[in-house]
């Protein structure tokens, strides 16, 4: 179940984040969104939570015609979506939809959509290993069906969510990692279904952009976290947040030395919107370029902030994972070079990881009576 069930507009963290995203878009970017019909797949997931709340918060100001939300609810929830869509049914519509098998032409208003966001995928290693074929199909078959449908239509923005995982485990000389790094990726293994599907998805986007002149933006996310993340997601920030909510020790299933940079969700969504509204095919790393923290250091911040916000008193422990393939092909380091996005998109993430973790835990604390 989603940790953000029935989150209300009174949650100040969410309100502040929505305003921050809006203020960090340029006038030209906002103008491109105006009078749009938006179609968004995978609207019930972590990123969908923030996109949907952003469109809801600024639907009137941006004069959005329609927001058509598609979700198969394989790993997402419906409760907060029902609340959000019910608050503005003239603009928002929700459809249970499988991008792999269902026909977007059957969705009312889909043919008029001129802004398309393809979020539908499974991003948690635990869950994409449970649903490996579905993960491949969402990123390849589902994407291809959307591209075929919109290739000859007047689309002004199409966003595909790739992943930093397309780089695999970069050699040290390629960290921080630029967009032109070709990757060190295993085609066979527990993560291959996700990594290789995202890689081929990028190829599809490139080919359709070439042949049909589609303005496709490809975003490569780097370790997002924050409100909207399901605390049962099984990724690192979710595991730590769940432990704090439940008063358990913070468990690390490695020696704690692998390093990552972490990007707070409002900075991430700002970046994705900028990629989407860039107006032509290109690929961008979206994330935070510093600090690069070890897993242990990341846990220590959760421990401190958990104590401040939740009165948390747990410890950091090191455990052997029950899943013997948990660490197979897990990258040792992950850090983006975001100079391209800074230069071409005026992308400037600003929420430091200490503040972002505090905001995440504060959001959960405000909603603590609704956590399930």
Catalytic residues, by residue number, are: 194
Q: Which residues of 332-363 are buried (b: 16+ CB within 10 A; e: fewer)?
A: ebbbbbbebbeeebebebebebeebbbbbbbb
How far is residue 291's CA from residue 249's CA, in Å, rounded to a whole number? Answer: 24
Q: How many CB atoms lie within 10 A of CB 69?
A: 24
**Helix/strand number for the chain, H first, E second:** 13, 14
Q: Which has the closest alpha carbon to 231: 310, 176, 284, 304? A: 310
Q: How many CB atoms lie within 10 A of CB 204?
A: 17
Q: Could you give the C-alpha distances from 363 to 17, 19, 234, 264, in angstroms and in order?
A: 11, 16, 19, 13
Query: 122: which 2 tokens?
Result: 């499974």
Work out whether strand 115-118 and strand 37-41 pair parallel, antiparallel, or are unpaired: parallel
- Whole-angstrom distance between the N-terminal and C-terminal Cα of the chain? 6
How far is residue 131's CA from residue 288's CA, in Å, rounded to a whole number? Answer: 29
By the 8 A CB rule, do 277 and 54 touch?
no
How far is residue 280's CA from residue 328's CA, in Å, rounded to a whole number? Answer: 36
User: Coil, strand, or helix at residue 184?
Assistant: strand
Tell me phi and psi for residue 171, to 5 degrees: -65, 150
Query: 8: which 2 tokens?
Result: 């209300």
Structural element, H or E, at residue 127: helix 125-130
Q: How many CB atoms lie within 10 A of CB 133?
A: 9
Query: 148: which 2 tokens?
Result: 């075929």
């Amino acid at each position: 179940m989603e940790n953000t069930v029935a989150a209300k507009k009174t949650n100040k963290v969410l309100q502040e984040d929505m305003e921050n995203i809006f203020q960090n878009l340029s006038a030209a970017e906002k103008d491109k969104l105006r009078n749009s019909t938006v179609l968004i797949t995978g609207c019930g997931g972590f990123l969908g939570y923030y996109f949907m709340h952003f469109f809801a918060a600024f639907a009137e100001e941006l004069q959005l015609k329609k927001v058509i939300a598609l979700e198969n609810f394989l790993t997402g929830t419906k409760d907060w979506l029902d609340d959000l869509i019910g608050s503005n049914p003239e603009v928002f519509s929700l459809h249970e939809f499988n991008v792999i098998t269902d026909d977007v032409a059957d969705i009312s208003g889909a043919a008029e959509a001129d802004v398309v966001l393809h979020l539908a995928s499974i991003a948690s290693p635990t869950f994409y290993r449970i649903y490996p074929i579905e993960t491949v199909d969402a990123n390849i078959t589902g994407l291809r069906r959307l591209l075929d449908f919109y290739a000859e239509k007047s689309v002004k923005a199409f966003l595909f969510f790739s992943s930093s995982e397309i780089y695999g485990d970069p050699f040290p000389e390629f960290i921080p990692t630029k967009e032109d790094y070709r990757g060190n990726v295993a085609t066979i293994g527990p993560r291959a279904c996700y990594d290789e599907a995202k890689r081929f998805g990028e190829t599809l986007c490139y080919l359709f952009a070439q042949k049909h002149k589609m303005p496709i933006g490809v975003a490569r996310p780097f370790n997002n976290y924050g409100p909207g993340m399901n605390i049962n997601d099984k990724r690192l920030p979710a595991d730590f947040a769940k432990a704090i909510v439940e008063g358990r020790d913070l468990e690390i299933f490695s020696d704690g030395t692998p390093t990552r940079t972490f990007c707070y969700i409002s900075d991430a969504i700002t970046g994705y919107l900028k990629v989407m509204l860039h107006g032509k095919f290109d690929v961008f790393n979206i994330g935070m370029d510093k600090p690069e923290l070890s897993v242990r250091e990341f846990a220590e911040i959760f421990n401190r902030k958990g104590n401040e916000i939740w009165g948390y008193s747990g410890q950091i422990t090191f455990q052997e994972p029950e899943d013997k393939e948990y660490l197979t092909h897990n990258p040792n380091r992950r850090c983006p070079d975001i100079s391209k996005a800074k230069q071409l998109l005026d992308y400037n993430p600003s929420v430091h990881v200490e503040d972002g973790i505090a905001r995440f835990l504060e959001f959960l604390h405000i909603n603590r009576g609704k956590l399930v």
